[in-house]
Chain A
Amino acid sequence: MASPGDATLDTSHVGKNKVPARYWLELQKEGKDEAEVGKDAEPSRKRLRRKEKKKEKMKEKKTQKAKKMKQEDTLVKQTISGKSDPFPGPAPISQDRVRKFKRKTKTKRSGSVGNKLRDVISRSEEASEMAQKQSARFDLLLPEDAGFLEGDEDEDTCTISQEDIADAVDITSGAKYFNLKLSQFGPYRVDYSKTGRHLLLGGRRGHVACVDWQSKQLMCEINVMESVNDVKWLHSEAMYAVAQKKWLYIYDTNGIELHCIRKFNDVLRMQFLPYHFLLATASATSFLQYLDVSVGKEVAAICTKTGRLDVMCQNPHNAIVHLGHHNGTVTLWSPNQKEALVKMLCHQGGVRSIAVDKTGTYMVTSGMDKKLKVFDIRTFKPLNSYFLPAGSSCLSLSQKGLLSAATGDVVQVYRDVWSTTVTKPYMAHRVRGTVWGLHFCPFEDVLGVGHGDGFTSMLVPGAGEPNFDGLDANPYRSAKQRQEWEVKALLEKIQPELISLDPHELGQVDNAAFEQRHQDRVQALGFDPLAKAKFIPKYKKKGRSSAGSVERRKKQVAHEDQRDVIRETMEDKMKIEEERRQREKKAAVLSGQKSALDRFKK
Chain B
Amino acid sequence: MAKVSSKKKLSKTKAKKSSEVAGDSAVKKTEVVYDEEEEEDKEDFNENVTSEEEEEDGEDERRRQKLLEAISALGGKRKKTLGERSEAAVQLSEFSVNAEGEGDKINLSDLIGSMDKTPQVSAKTRKQLKTLQQSNRTVESPLSKQETERIQRDVAFQKAASEQLVFPLNQEAPGPKPMERVVTGWKARTPLEEEIFALLSANKQPIHDPILTPQEEVSMKAMSLEEAKIRRAELQKARALQSYYEAKTRRERKIKSKKYHRVQNKAKRKDFVKQFEEMVKSDPAAALEELHKMELARMQERMSLKHQNSGKWAKSKAIMAKYDEGARKAMQQQLEVNKDLTQKLVTAVNDEEEEEEEEDEGGDPEVLPDFVNDAEQGVDSSNPWMRGKLSEDPAEKETSEIEEVKETEEEALLREFDSRRKRRQALIPVISLDDDEEEESKTAAEEEEESKTAVEEKEESKEEEESKVAAVEEEEEEEEEEGLEETLMRIRTLEDTEELLMQEESAADEAPVPPPAAENPPPASQPAGTNKKRKRGIELKQVLTKATKVIQVPLAHTVEDAEDSDDNQEQRGLIREAFAGDDVVSDFLKEKRKQEAAGKPQVVDLTLPGWGEWGGTGLKLSRRKRKKFRMKAAPPPPRKDVSLPGVIISEKRNRSITLHQVNTLPFPFETHTQFESTIRTPLGRTWNTERTVKKISKPKVVTRMGAIIEPMAREELMKDRNQTMNILSQAEQREEQKLKCERINKNKCKQKE
Interface residues of A (CB under 8 A from B): 18-24, 63-65, 75-76, 78-80, 82, 103-104, 106-107, 110, 113-117, 119-121, 123-125, 127-128, 130-132, 134-135, 137-138, 156, 158-159, 186-187, 204, 326-329, 334, 336-337, 339-350, 368-369, 371-373, 380-382, 384-390, 393, 407-410, 412, 414, 421-425, 428-430, 433-434, 436, 452, 471-472, 492, 497-498, 500, 505-512, 516-517, 520, 582
Contact = CB atoms under 8 A, between A and B. Distances in A.
A127 B183 contact: no
The 9 closest A-B pairs by CB, nearest first: A408-B557, A128-B681, A497-B656, A509-B672, A348-B580, A124-B678, A385-B546, A510-B661, A117-B668
A22 B506 CA distance: 12
Given A342-B647, A414-B551, A434-B563, 6 more contacts: A106-B677, A343-B588, A343-B591, A387-B551, A424-B553, A509-B661
A198 to B, nearest CB: 23
Contacts of B682: 103
B657 interface: yes
A443 B288 CA distance: 79
A80 B653 CA distance: 65
Contacts of B544: 328, 345-348
Contacts of A372: 551
B543 interface: yes
Nearest to A137: B689
Contacts of A430: 555, 557-558
A22 B507 contact: yes
B367 to A, nearest CB: 45
Nearest to A471: B686
Contacts of B680: 103-104, 128, 507
A387 B681 contact: no
Contact of A115 (B158, B573, B584, B723): B158
A534 B474 CA distance: 81
Interface string B529-567: 000000000000001101111111111111111110000
Nearest to A138: B689
A389 B548 CA distance: 12
Contact of B668 (A114, A186, A342, A385): A114
Interface in B651-676: 652-663, 665, 668-676
B146 interface: no
Contacts of B428: none
Contact of A380 (B555, B647, B652): B647
A117 B654 contact: no
B558 A408 contact: yes
A37 B144 CA distance: 59
Interface residues of B, number: 103
B647 A472 contact: no
Given A336-B657, A345-B585, A517-B663, A387 B550 contact: yes
A18 B489 contact: yes
B485 A124 contact: no
6 contacts: A23-B484, A76-B178, A76-B181, A103-B681, A348-B580, A382-B646
Contact of A76 (B180, B210, B691): B180
Given A336-B656, A507-B679, A509-B665, A19 B551 contact: no
B523 interface: no
Nearest to B511: A24
B33 interface: no
A65 to B, nearest CB: 8
A304 to B, nearest CB: 13
B686 A80 contact: no
A349 B573 contact: yes
Given A369-B577, A508-B676, A345 B485 contact: no
A328 B179 CA distance: 72
B25 interface: no
B516 to A, nearest CB: 11
B560 A520 contact: no
Given A82-B209, A134-B692, A509-B663, A434 B556 contact: no
B752 interface: yes
A422 B549 contact: yes
A385 B585 contact: no
Contact of B653 (A21, A78, A516): A516
Given A82-B209, A511-B672, A407 B546 contact: no
Contact of B161 (A78, A119, A424): A119
A114 B669 CA distance: 9
Interface in B475-504: 484-489, 491, 500, 503
A340 B673 contact: no
B650 interface: yes
A505 B661 contact: yes
B576 A349 contact: yes
A434 B563 CA distance: 8
Contacts of B670: 110, 113, 117
B584 A348 contact: yes
A350 B576 contact: yes
Given A348-B584, A384-B549, A337 B650 contact: yes
B648 interface: yes
Nearest to A326: B576
Nearest to B675: A509
Nearest to A109: B674
B209 A78 contact: yes
Contact of B677 (A63, A107, A373, A471): A107
Contacts of A510: 658, 661-663
Contact of B657 (A328, A369, A506): A506
Given A135-B688, A327-B587, A425-B554, A80 B183 contact: yes
Contacts of A339: 650, 652
B580 A349 contact: yes
A64 B674 CA distance: 28
Contacts of A65: 720, 723
A428 B553 contact: yes
Nearest to A118: B668
A256 B650 CA distance: 43
Nearest to A343: B648
A21 B663 contact: no
A381 B644 contact: yes
Nearest to B589: A345
B649 interface: yes
A182 B489 CA distance: 74
A334 B653 CA distance: 13
A458 B467 CA distance: 72
Interface string B569-591: 00001001100110011011001
Nearest to A116: B668
B751 to A, nearest CB: 9
Contacts of A80: 179-180, 183, 209-210
Contacts of A128: 680-681
Contacts of B681: 103, 124, 127-128, 131-132
